[in-house]
Amino acid sequence: MLNNIGLPGLLLIAVVVLVLFGRGKISNLMGEVGKGITAFKKGVNDGSKELEDEKAEKAQDVTPSDEKDKV
């Protein structure tokens, strides 16, 4: 059913949405979507940083004890 929309159909839908909601509401909505995407990316980066920090804490020094004194 939705496979046959095409470019003219999408343009018609965009015009109808613009008429119904107005330019101001749509720009506010897109601004909120952008903020949400930015917050999501920041959360993903923070989560991966935490995982790397946990791995670094768990890492053990495998240098033999007699080699440590040679520094």
Domain ranges across the chain: 23-50
Q: What is the mean pLDDT of residues 39-50?
A: 93
* Predicted pLDDT at 35: 96
**Beta carbons within 10 angstroms of residue 35's beta carbon:** 10
Q: From CA 57, how far away is CA 65, in angstroms rounded?
A: 20
Highest mean pLDDT among 6-10, 16-20, 31-35: 31-35
70: helix, coil or strand?
coil
* Predicted pLDDT at 69: 65
Higher pLDDT, 61 or 13: 13
**Sign of CA pseudo-dihedral 43, 45, 49, 52:** positive
44: helix, coil or strand?
helix
* Predicted pLDDT at 11: 93
Q: Is the pLDDT of residue 25 over 70?
A: yes
